[in-house]
Structure 1
């Protein structure tokens, strides 16, 4: 009865063998929605499905946006141009020009010879390469696309120390845990789990360290002289404290950040700063910690891999 994903249903499209998440701008005339306008002006508009499947209609929208820019590009209250890596980035500061266009001319219509095509209001676009998801396509009648729920919730993350000295992990999502009614236990399929280890280049001989759940304590030891994940400052000496190569920095484990790149999300114990993604592969050492009822910190040892539990 656990929620394993967010409840928003998304569609996907396969482009040259890669699945992309499809999202949409609900109202291109929204005065505060600048995405379509800025994408057109900065040459990022090929992600819009209309630009591929109905280029004549999309060209009408392009012309409106670019005409407005040419008319008002010198108005600092409307547009701002900045340079980033030798490239000019145009930012819309004022109102969406499509808002004004609709007020004066009505909605843009799909291109047709008679000029009476249906009104254009929404705009679909390829937002990102499809990542962790739950495929629910079997519940719908679809052709050449998936229907998915994204942001699959993490159940736990299993850490290993590999023969090459690096740390790697296997991420287990709630969708990967099934309930055995006969035994009354939760089960993670061994064959699936071994397959995930193989994907992460974790060998059967590599050492299992521990499993981490959300908000448990992870101690990370970095090489001497390396900075802490979160700055530690010596006010007396007026300088940052660096890792000594022995004592761990104790952090709250949030969840897996990027499973393929071996990145996890961490944040400090006593201050809920913005969560940060951290690569864990090359740490000197990692350890699991907990606190007793009095708040004393201790290292959790003798962890056992559990693929069946209550």
Structure 2
């Protein structure tokens, strides 16, 4: 109910950009807005239902009109031509302030199940290399992946993806290297004499250096900072109390690795960019 009231307040004050549905499914969002605004226009002058602050911002005082609508008519359904879409029980939203995992409750009092949303969590990180050997990456987040029912696949919009490449300065002559998901293995090489990403001296071991030839194999976590080109990794055979957040810049080679059924590590050579997947 608390989140339902927040949604109502956002709608009546025209502050709805954070809601994913507004951008991805505007027709359904309009159905929800209509229920809210019909109630608001009928009762906005009644102090019993709505209060207005000095800045002219309204807030709901009584039970959410969405809950009232549900109790009288049943759930609002997703927009469809035959008006037989599935019931809407939760609202997802973008957030850059609340961390990567957002827990919200449903709009209605049907149950108290929490929906864990990972909308702004990175889904995968795609690495590219320039003809000169410089590396950069594109981050695909969960909010950028949608299910396309007509082909029964998950899809990343190609236009959006190409725009992200342009933003990152990844030109058409750059070569796709690999896509990295959480807990997959990434191999990196730095110039000879540079410290390893996981420096064993962190755990009272001996400082290790790259020889410019052999891969340092690490467990990939996720993009850490898009703007500074940092991603997060962990050592594969030991615990590390320090967060390892290397910048993509110093690497002279990046490659994806995997383990076979016997636990042997091998190089993944067939790396193709996938914008549609099961």
The alignment's TM-score, normalised by the length of structure 1, stands at: 0.50
Tell me how far apart the structure 2 counterparts of residues 150 and 293 of structure 1 sit (CA, whole Å).
31
Cα deviations across residues 91-126 of structure 1 (Å, max 9, x unaligned)?
xxxxxxxxxxxxxxxxxxxxxxxxxxxxxxxxxxxx
Which position in structure 2 is the counterpart of 1:23? none
2:215 maps to 248
Alpha-carbon distance between aligned partners in 2 of 1:133 and 1:192, rounded to the nearest angstrom: 21
Which residue of 1 is the match for residue 80 of structure 2? none
Name the structure with the higher strand share: 1
Measure, in 1, the Cα distance between the counterparts of 2:119 and 2:228.
Answer: 17
- Of 187, 200, 209, which residue of structure 1 is paired with 2:177? 209
Q: Which residue of 1 aligns with 2:274?
A: 306
* Distance in 2 between residues matched to 1:153 and 1:166, nearest whole Å: 26
Deviation at 1:232, TM superposition (A): 3.9
CA–CA separation in structure 2 for the residues paired with 1:253 and 1:213 = 7
Contact 1:226 1:243 in 2 (8 A): yes
Counterpart of 2:248 (choices 280, 299, 303) is 280
Distance in 2, matches of 1:260 and 1:131, equals 19
2:192 is the counterpart of 1:191: no
TM-align CA RMSD: 3.2
Corresponding residue for residue 49 of structure 1 = none
Once the two structures are superposed, the pairs formed by residues 255-294 of structure 1 within 5 Å of their partners are 255-274=222-241, 275-294=243-262
Gaps of 5+ in 1: 1-8, 10-128, 135-148
Quote the offset at 1:164 in angstroms.
4.1
SS in 2 for 1:277: coil
CA contact (8 A) 2:119 2:142 kept: no
Give the 3 Å change call, closer, same or farther, for CA 151–265 of structure 1 in structure 2: farther
Deviation at residue 248 of structure 1 after TM alignment: 0.8
Shift of 1:130: 5.7
**Which structure's relative contact order is higher, taking Cα pairs within 8 Å and 6+ residues apart?**
1
Q: Any runs of at least 4 consecutive aligned residues in structure 1 with deviations exceeding 4 A, and if so which? A: 129-134
Q: 1:276 to 1:241 in 2, by over 3 A?
A: closer
1:152 corresponds in structure 2 to 120
User: Hey, what's the Cα distance between the residues in 2 that align with 1:266 and 1:190?
Assistant: 28
Kept in 2: contact 1:253–1:265 (CA 8 A): yes
Cα shift at 1:165: 2.4
Preserved contact between residue 132 and residue 151 of structure 1 (Cα < 8 Å) = no
Change (3 A) 1:130 1:164: farther
8 Å CA contact retained: 2:190, 2:212: yes
Query: What CA distance in whole angstroms lies between the structure 2 residues aligned with 1:154 and 1:308?
Result: 17
TM-score w.r.t. structure 2 length?
0.55
Q: Distance in 1 between matches of 2:98 and 2:139?
A: 13
